[in-house]
Structure 1
Amino acid sequence: MSDELSPSTERSEIDTSVPHSARIFGYWLGGKDNYPVDREAGDRVKELFPQIVDLARIGRHFLGRAVRYLAEEAGVRQFLDIGTGLPTVDNTHEVAQRVAPETRVVYVDNDPLVLAHAEALLTGLPDGATEYVHADVREPEKILAEAARTLDFDRPVAVILMGILAHVADYDEARSIVRRLLAPLPSGSYLAVRDGTDTDPAYREALRRYNATGAVPYHLRSPEQIAGFLDGLEPVEPGVVSCPHWRPEVSPLTPAGEVPLYGGIGRKP
Structure 2
Amino acid sequence: MSFQKRLAAKEFAVLAEMHTPKGINISRLVNDARRLKGRVDAVVVPDMDNGIMRMSALAGGVLLQQQGVETIMHMYCRDRNRMALQGDALAAHVLGIQNIVVADSTDMNESDHSDATPVNDLDEVQLIEALMGLQTGKDMSGFDLDGAPDYTIGCTLTPFTDDKGRDAALLTAEKRVKAGAGYIIVPPIYDVPGSASLLARVNELGVPVIATVFLLKSLAIAQYITNSDPGAGISSDMIRRIRKSPNRELEGIKIAGETILALKENTQGVLIQTLGWEHKLPEILDVAKI
- TM-score interval, normalised by the smaller of the two chains: 0.3 to 0.5
Could you say which structure has the larger radius of gyration?
A: 2
Task: Name the TM-score, length of structure 2 as normaliser.
Answer: 0.37
More helix by proportion, 1 or 2? 2
Task: Name the TM-score, length of structure 1 as normaliser.
Answer: 0.39
